[in-house]
């Protein structure tokens, strides 16, 4: 479908990657963990190591959740746009295939202190 | 000798004809298309503008007289309220959070509505809707003004009121109502009427004004209450206009039906997302509660909505597309929104708090299947933090919905343990949504919503580049207006002043 207009209607997107001076946005969601109410918006450069973004931005935000200390980081199930995905923390954002405004999600099976497990 | 003629007194019908329909004329040196350039492009076909019915038959002279009388009464009460320290009659200062939200989010919407009706009144080609829209336009600016006046008295004593206009433009949660009205204002005149006149004023207005005005009455807020009474007869007229406009469109041409249906689907969903803020107000912000959001929805949403859509079925109009998703969300949204507002309270121009023991009992009773199971553990966590001398905050910036602009904190309609994730790739860029409803709205008109100004992504762009202190200044948010109610200046002052008054 297209917008109905009385003339040409074409405008650039407001959050296009060019507006981020060589950086980009990412979103990260810890599934079944809603103490922090919404997925986090992260900010970094495409050539930044993904591991650095996780350590410096994501982990401090997740830290208040009582399940945080129980996470087995090797047992996490990662997805990106609904598909299984294996991140490489030692590679860059770009090398991990994370484009501007991409969201990745991760499941930590068995941890459900504040939100009942899925389907309950 | 001349015989002095007494002027004939006009009957209502004749007066209405002379003072509305008769004001139109046939253009002689410009054609209709030049005069009304916006009336065709949306695809709505109108064959006979004179078929527009105005059930109120109100003419301008009578209108001015009624409104002036209401204003006189209104300001007499507002003055008395100010002189008698009316602000100390509210149940407690927690209540002020509800009216701060109202002033920042709703009063500017009244003003937006004023501008919108002034515009469509000019754009329609028939004198009936022109006059009706003109009156509504004037009503709406009166509403905005009287609300600002009513609340200006609170501004003398409490934080969070003083710069509502900047906050309306800039603070993150107010981009929810603002973008709603911007969306309507940047649509064509017929869509505007379906958006604001029909979906908002007719279908949803009771869910907004009844809770606020009864909330005000229950909680001793004479100022807001008085405003409510003063606006009541206007609202009745607006609802009638909303209903008349949809019937007019549907009766003029069968080709209009699918277009109108599409707008109903869109604006009902957008309106329901906007009202999630009202849901939080009703269930959490009123010290003395009127009814739960669930109860309000059952009466004003389900009962009235069913009757309305039964009535519209004869035109081939179906209930709004995402009605079932709204129904499924009702027992959840107020908790989800309030938990969000609480954890981001360092960035809101109002205070929030954790529910008290009696609040919790009430919430359990009103939401027996959801509150205790899904939301109480998070509130208990917040309470425990407070008792341990800490505070539950979320310093993360949330992902926002490209359409409703709320943080994407809503769960899947059928699974309250899982956030709802929806994304669309459009012209090489990713867009995220809170729900199927918002994603559907985007996909109908992606060219429009790619332009959305989303406060969180905007914060990372020029000129703020993620600088939170600069952001606070830019949105005109002082630390005293934000944060936990228990430690607020508003609470301390209210209690001190009330004690003084009672010992005097
Ligand atoms: Fe209004
Ligand atoms: Fe949304």
Structural domain boundaries enclosing B126: 54-502
Q: Does residue B14 lie in a domain region?
A: no
At residue B502, the pLDDT reads 81
Tokens of B3: 């015989």
Ligand 2 center to residue B322 CA distance, Å?
A: 12
Question: Which residues in chain B touch residue A100, judged by CB atoms under 8 angstroms apart?
Answer: 429-430
Nearest CB to B41 within list A4, A25, A35: A4
Cis status, amide bond into B463, omega within 30 of 0: yes
B428: left (phi over 0), alpha (psi -120 to 50) or beta: left
**Which residues in chain B (451-470) have CB-CB distances under 8 A to chain A?**
451-454, 456-458, 460-462, 465-466
Nearest chain B CA: its distance from A83 CA (Å): 13
What is the C-alpha to C-alpha distance for residues A84 and B175, in angstroms, rounded to an integer?
Answer: 34
Angle at B457 between CA B452 and CA B459, to 5 degrees: 115
Contact A36, B392 (CB under 8 A): no
Q: Does residue B100 lie in a domain region?
A: yes
Q: Does residue B31 lie in a domain region?
A: no
Q: Does residue B209 lie in a domain region?
A: yes
Does B396 contact A119 at a Cβ distance shorter than 8 Å?
Answer: no
At residue A119, the pLDDT reads 66
3-state secondary structure A41-104: EEEECCCCEHHHHHHHHHHHHHCCCCCHHHCCCCCCEEEECCEECCCCCCCECCCCCCCCCEEE
Nearest chain A CA: its distance from B499 CA (Å): 38
Which of B491, B430, B498, B499 has its CA nearest to residue B97?
B491
Interval A36-48 mean pLDDT: 98
**Closest ligand relative to B107 C-alpha:** 1
Q: Does residue B129 lie in a domain region?
A: yes
In the predicted structure, residue A120 carries a pLDDT above the cut 90: no
Residues, CB within 5 angstroms of ligand 2 (ion)? B 401, 403-404, 434, 438
Question: Which residues in chain A touch residue B443, judged by CB atoms under 8 angstroms apart?
Answer: 1
Q: Does residue B4 lie in a domain region?
A: no
- Kindly state whether B56 is in contact with chain A, defined as any CB-CB distance less than 8 angstroms: no
Ligand 2 center to residue B409 CA distance, Å?
A: 9
Q: Does residue B15 lie in a domain region?
A: no
At residue B2, the pLDDT reads 58
What is the C-alpha to C-alpha distance for residues B122 and A73, in angstroms, rounded to an integer?
Answer: 62
**Which residues in chain A (50-109) have CB-CB distances under 8 A to chain B?**
61, 64, 66, 81, 99-103, 105
The CATH number covering residue B211 comes to 1.10.620.20
Does A114 contact B381 at a Cβ distance shorter than 8 Å?
Answer: yes
Ligand 1 center to residue A54 CA distance, Å?
A: 47
Handedness of CA A90, A92, A96, A101 (dihedral sign): positive
The residues facing B478 across adjacent strands are none
At residue B229, the pLDDT reads 80
The residues facing A28 across adjacent strands are A40, A104
**Which residues in chain A (21-60) have CB-CB distances under 8 A to chain B?**
21, 23, 25, 27, 29, 31-32, 34-41, 43
Number of domains chain B contains: 1
Return per-residue pLDDT of chain B as tens, 504 residues: 556 666 678 888 888 888 888 888 889 999 999 999 999 999 999 999 989 887 777 888 889 999 999 999 999 989 998 888 899 999 999 999 999 999 999 999 999 999 999 999 999 999 989 989 999 999 999 999 999 998 999 999 999 998 999 999 999 999 999 999 999 999 999 999 999 999 988 888 888 888 888 888 889 998 888 888 888 888 888 988 888 999 999 999 999 999 999 999 999 999 999 999 999 999 999 999 989 999 999 999 999 899 999 999 999 999 999 999 999 999 999 999 999 999 999 999 999 999 999 999 999 999 999 999 999 999 999 999 999 999 999 999 999 999 999 999 999 999 999 999 999 999 999 999 999 999 999 999 999 999 999 999 999 999 999 999 999 999 999 999 999 999 999 999 999 999 998 886
At residue B19, the pLDDT reads 84
Tokens of B128: 């009936």
Tokens of B47: 């064959």
At residue B314, the pLDDT reads 96
Which of B342, B202, B200 has its CA nearest to residue B273?
B200
Does A34 contact B41 at a Cβ distance shorter than 8 Å?
Answer: no
Contact B402, B452 (CB under 8 A): yes
**Closest ligand relative to B274 C-alpha:** 2
Choose from A4, A14, A30, A38 for mutation: most chain B CBs within 10 A.
A38
Give the containing element (helix H, strand E) for A25.
strand A24-30
Ligand 1 center to residue B182 CA distance, Å?
A: 16
Does B454 contact A15 at a Cβ distance shorter than 8 Å?
Answer: yes
Q: Does residue B432 lie in a domain region?
A: yes
């Amino acid at each position: 479908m297209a917008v109905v207009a009385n003339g040409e209607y074409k405008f650039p997107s407001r959050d296009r990657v060019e507006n981020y001076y060589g950086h980009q946005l990412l979103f990260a969601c810890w599934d079944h963990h809603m103490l922090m109410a919404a997925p986090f918006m992260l900010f970094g450069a495409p050539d930044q190591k993904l591991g650095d973004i996780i350590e410096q931005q994501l982990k401090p935000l997740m830290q208040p959740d009582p399940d945080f200390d129980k996470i087995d980081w090797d047992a996490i199930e990662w997805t990106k746009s609904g598909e299984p995905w294996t991140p490489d923390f030692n590679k860059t954002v770009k090398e991990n295939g994370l484009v501007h405004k991409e969201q990745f999600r991760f499941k930590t099976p068995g941890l459900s202190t504040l939100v009942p497990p899925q389907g309950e | 000798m001349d015989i002095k003629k007494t002027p004939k007194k006009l009957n209502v019908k004749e007066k209405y004809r002379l003072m509305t329909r008769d004001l139109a004329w046939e253009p002689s040196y410009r054609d209709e298309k030049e005069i009304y350039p916006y009336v065709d492009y949306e695809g709505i076909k109108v064959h006979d503008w004179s078929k527009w019915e105005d059930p109120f038959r109100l003419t301008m002279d009578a209108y001015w007289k009624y409104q002036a009388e209401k204003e006189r009464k209104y300001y007499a009460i507002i003055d008395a309220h100010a002189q008698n320290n009316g602000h100390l009659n509210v149940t407690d200062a927690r209540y002020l959070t509800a009216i701060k939200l109202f002033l920042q989010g709703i009063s500017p919407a009244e003003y937006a509505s004023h501008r919108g009706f002034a515009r469509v009144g000019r754009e329609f080609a028939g004198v009936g809707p022109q006059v009706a829209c003109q009156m509504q336009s004037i009503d709406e600016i009166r509403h905005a003004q009287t609300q600002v006046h009513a609340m200006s008295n609170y501004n003398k004593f409490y934080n969070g009121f003083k710069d509502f206009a900047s906050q309306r433009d800039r603070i993150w949660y107010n981009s929810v109502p603002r973008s709603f009205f911007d969306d309507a204002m940047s649509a064509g005149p017929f869509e505007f009427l379906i958006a604001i006149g029909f979906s908002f004023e007719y279908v949803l207005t009771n869910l907004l004004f009844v809770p606020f005005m009864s909330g005000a009455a229950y909680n001793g807020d004479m100022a807001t209450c008085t405003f409510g009474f003063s606006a009541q007869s206007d609202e009745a007229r607006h609802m009638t206009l909303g209903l008349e406009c949809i019937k007019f469109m549907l009766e003029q041409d069968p080709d209009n039906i699918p277009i109108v249906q599409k707008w109903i689907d869109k604006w009902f969903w957008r309106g329901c997302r906007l009202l999630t803020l009202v849901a939080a107000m009703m269930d959490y912000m009123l010290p003395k509660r009127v009814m739960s959001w669930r109860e309000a929805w059952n009466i004003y949403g389900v009962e009235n909505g069913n009757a309305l859509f039964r009535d519209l079925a004869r035109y081939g109009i179906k209930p709004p597309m995402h009605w079932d998703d709204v129904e499924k969300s009702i027992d959840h949204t107020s908790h989800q929104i309030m938990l969000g507002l609480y954890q981001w309270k360092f960035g809101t121009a109002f205070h929030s708090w954790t529910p008290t023991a009696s609040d919790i009992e009430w919430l359990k009773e009103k939401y027996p299947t959801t509150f205790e199971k899904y939301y109480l553990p998070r509130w208990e966590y917040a309470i425990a933090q407070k008792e341990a001398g800490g505070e539950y905050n979320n310093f993360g910036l949330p992902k926002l919905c490209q359409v409703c602009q709320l943080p994407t904190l809503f769960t899947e309609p059928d699974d309250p343990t899982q956030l709802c994730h929806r994304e669309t790739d459009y012209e090489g860029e990713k867009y995220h949504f809170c729900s199927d409803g918002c994603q559907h709205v985007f996909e109908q008109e992606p060219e429009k919503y790619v332009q959305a100004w989303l406060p969180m992504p905007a914060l990372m762009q020029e000129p703020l580049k993620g600088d939170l202190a600069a952001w606070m200044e830019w949105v005109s948010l002082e630390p005293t207006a934000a944060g936990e109610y228990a430690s607020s200046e508003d609470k301390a002052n209210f209690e001190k002043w009330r004690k003084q008054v009672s010992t005097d």
